Chain A
Amino acid sequence: MATDHQADHAHTPGTAERSGLDVDLHRAVLGFGGLLGFVGLWWVASLFQPAFVLPSPAAVAETFVAEAASGEMTTALGQSIQHWIPGTIIGTLLGIVAGVAFGWSRLLDDITAPVVRTLRPVPPLALIGFAIAWFGINNAGAAFIIAIGAFWINFYASYGGVEGVSEDLLDVARSLGVKGDLELVKSVVIPAASPEILTGVRTGIGRCWMLVVASEIFGVPGLGRRILRASNNLQVDVVITYILVLSLLFLLVDTAFRAAQRRVLAWR
């Protein structure tokens, strides 16, 4: 799980974002070339395999269009969003609050550290039993699984961000009349840690899309359920179609968030 977390980080580069337009264009062209190459390889590989092992890109495109036209796709999407959105938001908020609080307060940190270390390695999937028992086979149960995933990423990102806040900035704030923990956290700690906190949010958003499949494993309908059902029927084209839907959604949300993040962190 810990390595998982680091891998997530590796997927969200923070430094490359400030490159110039030329560099962006250059990268876009290269990226597009890479994408074409990948599809090409896939197509060549599919020529030597039966369709239930690896369908061709064209076959998948056909299925994609058919699924979209039949309304199946939008239905599944609508269902998934109903737990993805609340799960992500709740997990993110709780993770930030806990991360900031435990990162700031030595006392809270000392009290909670053993509990945190015990709970941290539990994969969200292992909690499906609790999701069913506490919430039932419904959106709340699925949101719970997603929220757990978002929680830990945001918890550690915020915790680390708060730990890294310069003691000197806090001294300056105190000398300028900021009194009490709450005021210091509000006016210095959170803004100073905001780059790390926002990186956590962004990483968490991506992780939650991955968890959509896991969260629907016990029967809640949605994109993940559709993938699992198609897998059971060896409809690999349908599986790939919905994997693509998840990827595109991730891309969409991530791009939007990145743009927002850049604006908020214009001072960096």
Chain B
Amino acid sequence: MAMSHADGSMVRIEGVSKQYDGEQGTVQALDDVDFGVDTGEFVCIVGPSGCGKTTLFRILAGLEPATAGEVLLDGSRVTEPTPNMGIVFQEYHLFPWQTVRENVAFGLKKTDVPTDERERRVDHLVDLVGLDGFADSYPKALSGGMKQRVALARALAIDPALLLMDEPFGAVDAQTREMLQGELLEIWEETGKTVLFVTHDVEEAVKLADRIIVMGKNPGSIRQIIDVDLDRPRSRTDTAFGQYYERIRELI
């Protein structure tokens, strides 16, 4: 299970900046981004396109280096992708040559988890995301929503301390998105994972997060960090929900 620190701050993003050297000179994609995420917390990063949130995601995941600053996960510096972090992309990126079950088991095969325990865990996860009837199907036979469920189960399989998600529900239809949001919250409550969720959808952020990191562009930086003090399940027709929504819309 995830290690936790005495102060509870599991992820620290410290003064992260990113510059790209383009043909029209240097572009400041991220400027001094600084925040922490506590163990078990659900944090959303929300911002318009071009605010550098995908760049920030890639730096957090260890897929890209920061120009300045650093990312600390459980106190150790993230410089490359680590199994301590489960990553879910918008475009699923399932391994198309593997069945649902094989996809979920992919990361586990690289660990020293014994075979029977591995099998049990995979069964449980396939069940958890509601795909028990499709365990032996290939990704080509699945809908977008189902693919994203597989991607989520695959990320959870290695039992990461942190679940890092980049617009995971951006490629599915509205109805499926709503369903997946509900399922993600259930899984989050059941597993107690720490979730860092990137989205451009303000409503989604208000619906899901304990805390919202609101980002703006030119350069990409934090505008404000907002605690969402609403009981779950949250309804967008709720007055307080609308107030959070409006407040964030004005910021970005």
Contact = CB atoms under 8 A, between A and B. Distances in A.
B71 interface: no
Contact of B97 (A175, A179, A192): A192
A176 B106 contact: yes
B83 A177 contact: yes
B95 A169 contact: yes
A187 B111 CA distance: 14
B89 A172 contact: yes
A97 B138 CA distance: 28
Contacts of A176: 83, 106-107, 110, 154-155, 158
Given A174-B80, A175-B83, A177-B107, A168 B93 contact: yes
Interface string B155-166: 100100000000
Contact of B138 (A171, A188, A191, A266): A266
Contact of B110 (A168, A171, A177): A177
B98 A267 contact: yes
**Interface of chain B: mostly helix, strand, loop or mixed:** loop
B82 to A, nearest CB: 7
Contact of B95 (A174, A175, A191): A191
A208 B83 CA distance: 46
Contacts of A268: 96, 140
A268 B85 CA distance: 29
B97 to A, nearest CB: 5
Interface size class of A (residues with CB under 8 A): 20 to 34
* Residue with the highest number of chain A CB atoms closer than 10 Å, among B63, B80, B91, B98: B63
Contacts of B106: 173, 176, 187
A266 B81 CA distance: 31
* Residue with the highest number of chain B CB atoms closer than 10 Å, among A168, A176, A178, A192: A176
B61 interface: yes
A105 interface: no
B202 interface: no
A82 interface: no
A194 B110 contact: no
A166 interface: yes
A200 B91 CA distance: 29
Contact of B81 (A166, A175, A191, A194): A175
A166 B93 contact: yes
Contact of B111 (A172, A173, A177): A177
Contacts of B139: 267
B93 A175 contact: no
Contact of A267 (B80, B85, B110, B138): B138
Interface string A173-216: 11111110001000110011010000000000000000000000
Given A175-B82, A176-B158, A168 B89 contact: yes
A77 B96 CA distance: 41
Contacts of B220: none
B97 A171 contact: no
Contacts of A171: 61, 63, 81, 87, 93
Interface in B100-119: 106-107, 110-111
Given A192-B95, A192-B97, 11 more contacts: A169-B93, A172-B89, A174-B81, A175-B62, A175-B81, A176-B155, A177-B158, A178-B110, A187-B106, A267-B138, A268-B140
Give me the 4 closest cross-chain CB pairs, A-B, nearest first: A176-B107, A175-B81, A174-B81, A177-B83
